């Protein structure tokens, strides 16, 4: 049987766009005499639709799209993803389903069995799990059709009591097709391959794995769809971070060689992070940074395209964070669509201004310079009777940051810009930022990258030529809100801080476990207290492009008023 994988970028709720993409791919497959074309999970409506699923009109439009798509399936099989209503009164009202269309109608349906409800996923909020499982006969093949999580319950600590493939394999399938919307993080591609190999080891079947691609606000879907033969050899890996289309013959996925043996699934993310000495190297490895770069570019492009925005603005301080955001924005949107505002204060160093001007000159984007000294002095004059000559403190520092936030938002409102936030994960973790000041923005570009990763990303951007001035990479980071200020005056060195934060946030280790790795106990107590007491700030922060296994935002839910681990 000739099969096509259509790896596509959908827009949540944009039924006409999604439908047209699917129909176009069907016609392309038809021209190549394809028997079956496979699309990804919830391809009809886009993933994740979240509370749109609670609107009956939204579900009606899904059904309408399925019907319109089915009119293009005469003589060709099409697997698409769409929500389906549950006819039973008991249970949730919807299924997350994969539909096989052929000759103008639905000839088979597979409902998702394992509904992830952790991290960024909340599927049990909306969907009823499958309670029947059937192999699908189509053109001489017996297809075990599964959806995303359905093939992931094979780890040493399974999340679910049921494994759909254990039931489907009893019906003697000849291939496994998995349609998925698997979000990106910077080593998830390794885990996908490992779980597919574990399925092949157990069931001795070729695997066709069709993933979606594109950004949905904070979530990045990186594509990388896969085709493996029945012995675990990789037949094809589709493009990452781009749409792709691939045709092959199912007979090429069968071999008489013995299936892979002596293979045991290991969560590579955990294994890689266990060695403290290797952790910094791992976080800043070129492979990871390359993937992060592509993910951020796609995240910026899709956010603006899908929201109907065109132009971005950001504040340029002459520091590493704003420099990296500025470079990424220009690369993603074009220099003509990026405007930068330089807002030096009396505490800004001269090289901060010249470095920022040099960067804009290299990138070719427009910029304005608005010194804030006079505005700041007006604030102090107005507040002096109330402040009663108290010593300079964080209050005066934050006023400067909020002035800058107001100026940026004024230009954004006046000219229709979207403000890109430049805060990093290290700062957000410990609360080193000002609400309504440098924490303002419509989209956070670096909020899931630790400071060490941002330096590595800057070096990656400079790989072929000097784009970000070398002085920005070499000078000590500073907020420049008081004389001779340095981040190191307030925070532990980033080479230590970032390791501790990774162990706590990504690996969810408690203080005792982290201290046992050789960290100073007082330092750990201090850092974890900073993280936990800053939750109220992060709760008011803008969406963050997710690139790690545990990002701040929808995937990390901790109480604001909780007292734990400090």
Question: Distance between CA 352 and CA 342 in Å, rounded?
Answer: 10
Q: Does the annotation flag 321 for ligand binding?
A: yes
Q: What are phi and psi of 74, to 5 degrees?
A: -70, 120
Q: Does the annotation flag 318 for ligand binding?
A: yes
Assess whether 112 carries a catalytic annotation.
yes
Assess whether 61 carries a catalytic annotation.
no
- The predicted pLDDT at position 275 comes to 58
Instruction: Note the pLDDT tens digit of each residue in 186-209.
Output: 978 888 999 999 999 999 999 999
Give me the CATH code for the 2-266 domain, please: 3.60.110.10
436 φψ region: left (φ > 0), alpha (ψ -120 to 50), beta (else): left
Q: Which of 45, 62, 148, 542 is catalytic?
A: 148
pTM attached to this predicted model? 0.95
Question: Distance between CA 66 and CA 299 in Å, rounded?
Answer: 28
Instruction: Note the pLDDT tens digit of each residue in 452-461.
Output: 999 999 999 9
- The predicted pLDDT at position 115 comes to 97
Q: Does the annotation flag 495 for ligand binding?
A: no
11 φψ region: left (φ > 0), alpha (ψ -120 to 50), beta (else): beta
Q: What is the mean pLDDT of the segment spanning 307-317?
A: 97
CA distances from 470 to 133, 205, 359 (A): 59, 52, 10
Q: Which of 21, 61, 112, 272 is catalytic?
A: 112
Q: Does the annotation flag 317 for ligand binding?
A: yes
- The predicted pLDDT at position 270 comes to 43
- Band (pLDDT 50/70/90 cuts) for residue 268 is very low
Cα angle, residue 285 at apex, residues 283 and 289 outer, rounded to 5°: 85
CATH architecture of the domain formed by 283-491: 3-Layer(aba) Sandwich (3.40)
Q: Does the annotation flag 218 for ligand binding?
A: no
Q: Which of 60, 54, 70 is nearest to 19 (CA)?
A: 70
Cα angle, residue 174 at apex, residues 170 and 177 outer, rounded to 5°: 95
Question: Distance between CA 473 and CA 468 in Å, rounded?
Answer: 8
Instruction: Note the pLDDT tens digit of each residue in 110-157.
Output: 999 999 999 999 999 999 999 999 999 999 999 999 999 999 998 878
Q: What sign does the CA torsion over 159, 160, 161, 165 have?
A: negative
Q: Which of 32, 98, 103, 37 is nearest to 70 (CA)?
A: 103
Q: Which of 41, 480, 503, 506 is catalytic?
A: 41
Q: Does the annotation flag 320 for ligand binding?
A: yes
Domain ranges in the chain are 2-266, 283-491
- The predicted pLDDT at position 565 comes to 66
Assess whether 542 carries a catalytic annotation.
no
DSSP codes of every residue in 161-195: S--HHHHHGGG--SEEEEEE--B--TTHHHHHHHH
Q: What is the mean pLDDT of the segment spanning 331-347?
A: 95
Instruction: Note the pLDDT tens digit of each residue in 403-412.
Output: 999 999 999 9
Q: DSSP letter at 240?
A: B
Upper half-sphere CA count for residue 118 (Cβ side, 13 Å)? 8
Instruction: Note the pLDDT tens digit of each residue in 351-383.
Output: 889 999 999 999 999 999 999 999 999 999 999
Question: Distance between CA 119 and CA 487 in Å, rounded?
Answer: 31
């Amino acid at each position: 049987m000739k099969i096509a994988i259509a790896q596509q970028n959908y827009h949540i709720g944009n039924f006409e766009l999604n439908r047209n993409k699917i129909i176009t791919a069907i016609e392309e497959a038809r021209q190549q005499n394809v028997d079956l074309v496979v699309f990804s999970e919830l391809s009809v409506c886009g993933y994740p639709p979240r509370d749109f699923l609670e609107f009956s009109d939204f579900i009606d439009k899904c059904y309408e799209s399925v019907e319109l798509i089915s009119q293009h399936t005469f003589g060709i099989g099409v697997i698409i993803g769409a929500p389906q209503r549950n006819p039973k009164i008991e249970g949730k009202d919807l299924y997350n389903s994969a539909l096989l269309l052929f000759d103008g109608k639905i000839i088979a349906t597979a409902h998702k069995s394992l509904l992830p409800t952790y991290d960024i996923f909340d599927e049990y909020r909306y969907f009823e799990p499958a309670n029947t499982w059937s192999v699908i006969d189509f053109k001489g093949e017996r297809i075990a059709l599964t959806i995303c999580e359905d093939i992931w319950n094979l780890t040493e600590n399974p999340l679910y009591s049921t494994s759909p493939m254990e039931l489907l394999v009893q019906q003697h399938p000849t291939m496994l097709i998995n349609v998925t919307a698997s979000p990106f993080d910077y080593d998830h591609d390794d885990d996908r391959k490992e779980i597919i190999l574990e399925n092949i080891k157990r069931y001795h079947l070729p695997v066709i794995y069709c993933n979606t691609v594109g950004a949905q606000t904070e979530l990045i879907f990186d594509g990388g769809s896969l085709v493996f033969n029945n012995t675990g050899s990789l037949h094809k890996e589709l493009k990452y971070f781009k749409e792709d289309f691939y045709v092959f013959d199912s007979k090429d996925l069968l071999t008489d060689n013995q299936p892979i043996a002596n293979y045991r699934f290991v969560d590579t993310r955990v294994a890689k992070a266990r060695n403290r000495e290797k952790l910094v190297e791992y976080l800043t490895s070129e492979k990871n940074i390359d993937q992060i770069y592509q993910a951020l570019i796609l995240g910026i492009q899709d956010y603006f395209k899908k929201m109907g925005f065109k132009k971005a603005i950001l504040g340029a301080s002459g520091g590493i964070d704003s420099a990296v955001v500025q470079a990424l924005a220009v690369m993603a949107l074009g220099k003509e669509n990026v405007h930068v505002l330089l807002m030096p204060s009396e505490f800004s160093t001269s090289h901060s201004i010249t470095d920022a001007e040099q960067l804009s000159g290299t990138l070719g984007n427009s910029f304005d310079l608005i010194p804030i000294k006079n505005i700041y002095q007006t604030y102090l004059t107005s507040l002096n009777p109330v402040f009663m000559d108290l010593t300079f403190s964080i209050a005066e520092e934050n006023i400067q940051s909020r002035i800058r936030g107001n100026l940026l938002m004024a230009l954004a409102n006046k000219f229709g810009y979207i403000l890109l936030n430049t805060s990093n994960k290290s700062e957000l973790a410990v609360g080193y930022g000002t609400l309504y000041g440098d924490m303002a923005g419509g989209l956070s570009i670096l909020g899931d990258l630790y400071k060490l990763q941002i330096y590595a990303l800057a070096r990656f951007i400079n790989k072929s030529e000097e784009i970000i001035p070398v002085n920005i990479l070499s000078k000590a980071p500073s907020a420049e809100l008081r004389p001779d200020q340095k981040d190191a005056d307030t925070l532990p060195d980033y080479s230590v801080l970032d390791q501790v934060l990774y162990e706590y946030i990504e690996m969810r280790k408690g203080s005792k476990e982290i201290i046992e790795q050789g960290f100073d106990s007082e330092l750990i107590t201090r850092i974890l207290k900073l993280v936990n007491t800053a939750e109220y700030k992060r709760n008011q922060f803008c969406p963050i492009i997710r690139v790690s296994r545990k990002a701040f935002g929808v995937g990390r839910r901790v109480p604001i008023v909780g007292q734990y681990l400090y």
